[in-house]
Amino acid sequence: MSNFKEQLKQARISVDQNLQKWLPLPDNLSARVVEAMRYATIGGGKAFRAFLILTTAKMFDLPEANAINIATAMEMIHAYSLIHDDLPSMDNDTMRRGKPTVHIQFDEATAILAGDALLTNAFEVLADETTHPDPMIRTKLIKMLAYLAGKDGMVGGQMIDLIGEKQTLNLEQIEMLQGKKTGALLMFASTASAVATKAPEEQLNALKTYAKCIGLMFQITDDILDVVGDSATVGKTLGKDKDETKSTFVSVLGLEAARQKAEELGVQADDALSIFGEKAITLKEAAHFILERNY
Amino acid sequence: MSNFKEQLKQARISVDQNLQKWLPLPDNLSARVVEAMRYATIGGGKAFRAFLILTTAKMFDLPEANAINIATAMEMIHAYSLIHDDLPSMDNDTMRRGKPTVHIQFDEATAILAGDALLTNAFEVLADETTHPDPMIRTKLIKMLAYLAGKDGMVGGQMIDLIGEKQTLNLEQIEMLQGKKTGALLMFASTASAVATKAPEEQLNALKTYAKCIGLMFQITDDILDVVGDSATVGKTLGKDKDETKSTFVSVLGLEAARQKAEELGVQADDALSIFGEKAITLKEAAHFILERNY
């Protein structure tokens, strides 16, 4: 198994263990919302964002115990965004990660609340002493995540995504949409360990370039998979973009040019990592995985 | 005008000014979600929680500039909770604060996103250097708010509230529901300034007792208003609890016993504040206002 696949698997295991600690079932009537939070996070998905945090933590000597908390907060935010994105008034998806979405498995109100709580409690995890001994680092991470996940980042991107269902977007608008919707959290995941260890500006910038490239690659391959993927392998409903005549990288560029753009971004991502030498080999593998993924 | 009414009015003005700063309209397609965030916060509601923070800030000599940021974050969280609570799959309310709810004025998806962004960006405000020079204080406030607003606090309470629409709750369960749903944010609002100034344990505990009392009073008077209030004065749909045969303080205790319980809590709130002497006169007025409110 490659370093990448091994570390991806390990990230899932580490985050799941930590989620058990942060999301214990309470012994009162509010247990239902915690059940939904656990359903949406534990064992769910590839934990790619957690992998990025844990792998860069090794590069910058951030202690694993700190990195696991940051990765857990990250996966809580990612899971909340999927729960809300899947709601009937949003993307109206019934399957996610190969199982029924939260509002199907529970109900719509519980899904909204579970998303709200995952978002809220992610900041509880980041603010905790066990995430980093220096409170200045903790507030820095919190501010960065709140900025990247909020109106100027992910939520702003989701707003543009909804608008894009009703009006045609040009390439620049699709890139902005993606930069916010998918790119913002990948930016946090790629740079959090460097920020937490006060890495030199040059190294931080290299990771920012890497994050931008893999964010775009991720969305392009997602758009490609929506057209050519196999629903059972991908684990969610496909062909939706076309049904909804949504503007995507594929609809604007065409399939071949979209594939080529993804390839070019892969080269750029590699180049950006060159300053880290051998240390960045797993991050490079991750970029290649995105390029070649079929799920 | 009493101190209380004057300071309540001033809190609204101060927070509105600060919201203008934190929620500028962006010059791109994501502007729609920021419009909804502004619609739900600026000029909306009594700003009672902001008042509590600003008034206790004076008692503990917390600089006003710091307190206004904390109050702004608080009102953002409060507004998010109302937006999501009003959604069709939750309380399905069409009027709030005398105007159409966010999902009526905009649409359901925008309402979900506006709530998500207000919740997220509230933590951006708290993490900002202008909220307090000491990052340890900032993380303490963030951790407290995330705990009180999340699964163990407000969201947990909303879950119990939903369950209470389908099964009868006893007095103890209603008190727990309220303690989480309404009480948790009032706890933050009552104690944040004391926490930010490292006030002595005894004073912090006095404020915690005060918060518990006004939280319960708030919910009891809310339940009473739902039965006897005037819809135009209150600014939202009334009589809903009875329509939905929901367990409330009034349905369990009866109207008179509920009123008496609220009176007793008013006395307890007064007693708790006695250690502050004259300094707490405005907080006492606030408790009396809750008791006598008709909106």
**What are the pLDDT digits (tens) for B112-147?**
999 999 999 999 999 999 999 999 999 999 999 999
In Å, how far are A56, A139, A185, B118, B142 from A196, measured between CA atoms?
11, 10, 16, 26, 18
Chain A residues whose CB is inside 8 A of the B162 CB are 109-110, 113
Which of helix, strand or coil describes residue A100? strand
If we measure between CA atoms, which residue out of B57, B81, B102, B244 comes closest to residue B148?
A: B81
- CB of A84 within 8 A of CB of A115? yes
Nearest CA in chain B to A81: B116
In Å, how far are A176, B44, B106, B150, B223 from B36, measured between CA atoms?
21, 12, 7, 22, 28
- Chain A with chain B: Cβ pairs closer than 8 A: 182
CA quadruple B85, B153, A182, B19: dihedral sign: positive
Chain B residues whose CB is inside 8 A of the A28 CB are 156, 160, 176
Q: DSSP state, B96?
A: E
What b-and-e string marks burial along B70-100, b requiring 16 or more CB atoms within 10 Å of the CB? bbbbbbbbbbbbbbbbbbbbbbebebbbeee
Classify burial at B204, counting beta carbons within 10 Å of its beta carbon; exposed 0-12, middle 13-18, buried 19 or more. Answer: middle
Interface test with A, best of B85, B130, B142 (most A CBs within 10 A): B142
- Packing angle between helix A31-41 and helix B154-163, nearest 10 degrees? 110
Residues 6 or more apart whose Cβ sits within 8 Å of residue A235 = A95, A96, A97, A98, A295
Contact B116 A119 (CB under 8 A): yes
Residue listed under structure tokens 């995952």: A118
Amino acid at A44: G
Q: Phi and psi at residue B115, in whole multiples of 5°? A: -65, -45
Q: Phi and psi at residue A70, in whole multiples of 5°? A: -60, -45
Nearest CA in chain A to B126: A143
Quick one: pLDDT at residue B160?
97
Nearest CA in chain A to B31: A156
Closest CB to A139: pick one of B84, B138, B151: B138
Comparison of pLDDT for B98 and A37, the residue scoring more:
A37
CA quadruple A108, A114, A117, A118: dihedral sign: negative
Contact A26 B152 (CB under 8 A): yes
Quick one: pLDDT at residue A246?
82
Amino acid at B271: D
Can you state the percent helix, strand and coil of chain A, rounding each to 5? 75, 0, 25
Chain A residues whose CB is inside 8 A of the B150 CB are 117, 120-121, 124
Give every residue of chain A whose pLDDT is below 50, as ranges.
none
Nearest CA in chain A to B147: A124
Contact B123 A146 (CB under 8 A): yes
Q: DSSP state, B90?
A: T
Interface test with B, best of A81, A134, A142 (most B CBs within 10 A): A142
Closest CB to B163: pick one of A29, A87, A134: A29
Structure tokens at B9: 């009015």
CA distance A139 to A119: 16
Quick one: pLDDT at residue A59?
98
Quick one: pLDDT at residue B294?
67
CA distance A132 to B123: 18
Quick one: pLDDT at residue A1?
57
Q: How far is B117 from chain A (nearest CA, A)?
A: 5
Classify burial at A232, counting beta carbons within 10 Å of its beta carbon; exposed 0-12, middle 13-18, buried 19 or more. Answer: exposed
Structure tokens at B281: 């006169």
Q: What is the pLDDT of residues B146-177, one digit of tens each?
A: 999 999 999 999 999 999 988 999 999 999 99
Longest dimension (CA), chain A: 55
pLDDT of residue B16 exceeding 80: yes
Chain A residues whose CB is inside 8 A of the B123 CB are 123, 142-143, 145-146
- CB of A94 within 8 A of CB of A237? yes
Nearest CA in chain B to A31: B156
Domains parsed from chain B with CATH numbers: 3-292 (1.10.600.10)
Chain B residues whose CB is inside 8 A of the A109 CB are 87, 89-90, 162
Q: How far is A26 from chain B (nearest CA, A)?
A: 8
Interface test with B, best of A21, A90, A159, A173 (most B CBs within 10 A): A159
- CB of B89 within 8 A of CB of A112? yes
CA distance B78 to A242: 39
If we measure between CA atoms, which residue out of A22, A240, A147, A284 comes closest to residue B126?
A: A147
Contact A127 B112 (CB under 8 A): no
| Beta-strand runs (E) in B51-185 | 95-96, 99-100
Quick one: pLDDT at residue B234?
67
pLDDT of residue B108 exceeding 60: yes
Instruction: List the alpha helices (DSSP H) in A101-254.
Output: 102-105, 108-127, 135-149, 154-163, 171-181, 183-196, 201-228, 231-234, 240-243, 249-253
Strand B99-100 relative to strand A95-96: parallel, antiparallel, unpaired?
unpaired
Q: How far is B291 from chain A (nearest CA, A)?
A: 29
By residue count, chain B amounts to 295
Beta-bridge partner residues of A96:
A99
If we measure between CA atoms, which residue out of A135, A141, A74 comes closest to residue B123?
A: A141
Interface test with B, best of A113, A175, A181 (most B CBs within 10 A): A113
If we measure between CA atoms, which residue out of B19, B87, B27 comes closest to residue B50?
A: B19
pLDDT of residue B190 exceeding 80: yes
pLDDT of residue B47 exceeding 70: yes
Quick one: pLDDT at residue B242?
61
Interface test with A, best of B32, B90, B110, B151 (most A CBs within 10 A): B151
Q: What is the pLDDT of residues B238-257, one digit of tens each?
A: 676 666 678 899 999 999 99
Residues 6 or more apart whose Cβ sits within 8 Å of residue A254 = none
CA distance A180 to A157: 5
Chain B residues whose CB is inside 8 A of the A169 CB are 29
Quick one: pLDDT at residue B245?
72
Chain A residues whose CB is inside 8 A of the B185 CB are none
In Å, how far are B149, B162, B177, B182, B244 from B172, measured between CA atoms?
21, 16, 9, 15, 20
If we measure between CA atoms, which residue out of B166, B147, B156, B137 comes closest to residue B247?
A: B166
Closest CB to A33: pick one of B26, B121, B155: B155
Q: Phi and psi at residue B95, in whole multiples of 5°? A: -125, 140
CA distance B24 to B97: 22
Which of helix, strand or coil describes residue A152? coil
Residues 6 or more apart whose Cβ sits within 8 Å of residue B96 = B82, B86, B102, B235, B236
Closest CB to B163: pick one of A32, A140, A169: A32
Classify burial at B184, counting beta carbons within 10 Å of its beta carbon; exposed 0-12, middle 13-18, buried 19 or more. Answer: buried
Q: What is the pLDDT of residues B206-224, one digit of tens each?
A: 999 999 999 999 999 999 9
